[in-house]
Chains A and B, each alone.
Chain A
Amino acid sequence: MPRTTFIRSLLLTTLLVVSAVTCLGQSTTGTVTMSATVSKFVEINSGGAVTLTGNSGGGVTTDGVTNSPLAVAINLGELGPSNTNSFVTAQVPLKLRSNAAYVLSMAATVTSSGTTASRITAADVGFGLGTVSRTGLGVNSGSDTNATSGDPTLAANGSVNGTTGRYEFTAVRSNLSAFSSATTALSGPIIMNAVPRSNANGLTVPAFFAVKPQFFENGTTTISVTFTVTAP
């Protein structure tokens, strides 16, 4: 082999060796990139046992259990004049939790076996949300907006109609006729601070339902109410 060819071959081989060593080089750094997603989260659960007062007969068929899905059933009992109490009232505690601003809406249907204007209608069922409570570890302080008029049995929220003689819940969103479709009942800012779901605290608010015993047309009436909480 000519000397120049040998040198060139050696040079090429050396270049390849250097290149190979370089390609096999180590690194003194490494990278770990992390990401996480927090979606808006809202939930509604029972805030505890139902309180039924002023009833004649009836009772709580399915009671609320704190922190369990809200699914209560109540028999309001007799709503005719034989019930001499001023109101039959059911108080249903609600518990809301969210990591974002929330809106609690409600939709109600009232169906009666009666056929006349004297049957029980949605307007005869008083409704309102009571005092909102944001207490406990991990609950964010904030100001909520109650779109109802509160306890419907308050004197300011209803009266006997001077013309018809029928008792009426007259205040803003104080009876179920205002909730024939999903309508806002309560709204507010983020409820929970950054705490795990196992933290059982939250926003609690009582939902009041009231009926004034009157000379309603006899029959049976079914009232169905659905609460929905969203994070717009």
Chain B
Amino acid sequence: MRLRQFTFSLFIALILIAAAQTISAQALDISSGGQPTITGAVGGSVTGSALVTDDLLVTVNFGEVSPLNTNSIVKVIVPIALRSNQPYQIAVSVSGLNNGNPQALQAADIGFGLQNIRKLGGAGQDCNQSTHIIRSPFNNDPALNAIVGGTGRVTYSSSLANISGSTIILSGPVLSKNNSIKRQQSDGYVFDAIFTLTPQFFSAGVSSVTLIFSIAPGPNVPC
């Protein structure tokens, strides 16, 4: 192949790649939805980007959750932004919490719920034929639904124990109006993922858990 032909072919290929990426831009996207917050913690913290154009990468330290923490509950709110040009669904998976002692921290001890779905930056696709649906049992603020169960241990309407494998927690119609090639400050939706932990007489130790949120094409609902 002559050099000129090769160069021309490469040029066409790059044009097609660029076009394809543009066309598929913002097909499905999940990112930070703003600054995460924590309340009721003793020695705890939460770190994550306040920029909605940054990746969702949040580290939560609930701090001390023995009775040394005399607050009634530790609550963390993580805003998560979503963008799509098609119907979507959000799934979450959990790994890493494997305490064998039933009196140690368990998945059921971390309340988990979704609330406050709103437009990202005040702009997003308005759909009047479908709504964004928080899947059962996650449509609640676990801090408002913490009760003492029959064993004396605090329980929640929904918790990490309700997550099995990759569990769908939210779905809905197209999220974005524009088909931007990059993350915008607006034009999408954001929701609050709420995590709670009530200080109790847990067996001593340090526990950690990782949640992975993912967005994928969802049920084909009209906008």
Within 8 A of B (CB), among A3-20: 7-8, 10-11, 14-15, 17-18
Within 8 A of A (CB), among B110-148: 110, 148
Residues of A in contact, count (CB < 8 Å): 47
Q: Does A215 contact B (CB under 8 A)?
A: no
- Known A-B contacts A190-B103, A193-B201; the reply to A41 vs B30 at CB < 8 A is no
Question: Are the C-beta atoms of B57 and A30 separated by less than 8 Å?
Answer: yes
Query: Which of A14, A18, A22, A193 meets B152, CB within 8 Å?
Result: A193
Q: Does A29 contact B (CB under 8 A)?
A: yes
Within 8 A of A (CB), among B79-105: 80, 83, 102-105
Query: Which of B200, B211, B215 meets A32, CB within 8 Å?
Result: B211
27 A-B pairs with C-beta separation under 8 A: A7-B7, A14-B15, A24-B183, A26-B31, A29-B212, A30-B55, A31-B57, A31-B212, A31-B213, A32-B60, A32-B210, A33-B208, A33-B209, A33-B211, A34-B62, A34-B210, A35-B61, A36-B65, A41-B204, A99-B67, A99-B203, A137-B151, A190-B103, A193-B201, A194-B153, A195-B154, A196-B198
- Known A-B contacts A21-B25, A38-B204; the reply to A14 vs B31 at CB < 8 A is no
> Contact residues of B with A, CB < 8 Å?
7-8, 10-11, 14-15, 17-18, 21-22, 25-32, 43, 55-68, 70, 72, 76, 78, 80, 83, 102-105, 109-110, 148, 151-154, 181-183, 193, 195, 197-216
Question: Are the C-beta atoms of A99 and B201 separated by less than 8 Å?
Answer: yes
Question: Are the C-beta atoms of B68 and A41 separated by less than 8 Å?
Answer: yes
- In Å, the complex CA distance between A21 and B25 comes to 9
Report the nearest B residue to A23, measured CB to CB: B182
- Count of CB-CB pairs between chains A and B under 8 Å: 212
Q: Which B residues lie within 8 Å of A212 (CB)?
A: none
With most chain B CB atoms within 10 A of its CB, the pick from A29, A36, A97, A196 is A36
From residue A58, how far is it (CB to closest CB) to chain B in Å? 37
Q: Which B residues lie within 8 Å of A198 (CB)?
A: 72
- In Å, the complex CA distance between A11 and B18 comes to 12
Question: Are the C-beta atoms of A97 and B201 separated by less than 8 Å?
Answer: yes
Question: Are the C-beta atoms of B18 and A35 separated by less than 8 Å?
Answer: no
Question: Are the C-beta atoms of A34 and B60 separated by less than 8 Å?
Answer: yes
- In Å, the complex CA distance between A99 and B153 comes to 13
From residue A141, how far is it (CB to closest CB) to chain B in Å? 12
Q: Which A residues lie within 8 Å of B211 (CB)?
A: 31-34
Q: Does A27 contact B (CB under 8 A)?
A: yes
Q: Which A residues lie within 8 Å of B202 (CB)?
A: 38, 99, 194
- Known A-B contacts A7-B7, A36-B65, A36-B197; the reply to A29 vs B30 at CB < 8 A is yes
Question: Are the C-beta atoms of A27 and B31 separated by less than 8 Å?
Answer: yes
- In Å, the complex CA distance between A168 and B15 comes to 102
Q: Which B residues lie within 8 Å of A10 (CB)?
A: 11
- In Å, the complex CA distance between A41 and B31 comes to 39
- In Å, the complex CA distance between A7 and B7 comes to 8
Q: Which A residues lie within 8 Å of B78 (CB)?
A: 32
Q: Which A residues lie within 8 Å of B105 (CB)?
A: 36, 38, 194
- In Å, the complex CA distance between A32 and B43 comes to 19
Q: Does A115 contact B (CB under 8 A)?
A: no
Q: Which B residues lie within 8 Å of A193 (CB)?
A: 103, 151-153, 201
From residue A178, how far is it (CB to closest CB) to chain B in Å? 31
- In Å, the complex CA distance between A35 and B105 comes to 10
- In Å, the complex CA distance between A199 and B197 comes to 16
- In Å, the complex CA distance between A195 and B41 comes to 18
- In Å, the complex CA distance between A43 and B214 comes to 44
Q: Which B residues lie within 8 Å of A82 (CB)?
A: none
- In Å, the complex CA distance between A40 and B206 comes to 11
- Known A99-B66, A100-B204; further 8 A-B contacts with Cβ < 8 A: A14-B14, A30-B214, A33-B59, A35-B61, A37-B65, A38-B206, A194-B103, A196-B198
Question: Are the C-beta atoms of A33 and B58 separated by less than 8 Å?
Answer: yes
Question: Are the C-beta atoms of A196 and B154 separated by less than 8 Å?
Answer: yes
Q: Which B residues lie within 8 Å of A199 (CB)?
A: 148, 152, 201
Within 8 A of B (CB), among A119-162: 137-138, 140
Q: Which B residues lie within 8 Å of A97 (CB)?
A: 67, 201
Question: Are the C-beta atoms of A31 and B56 separated by less than 8 Å?
Answer: yes
- In Å, the complex CA distance between A196 and B73 comes to 10
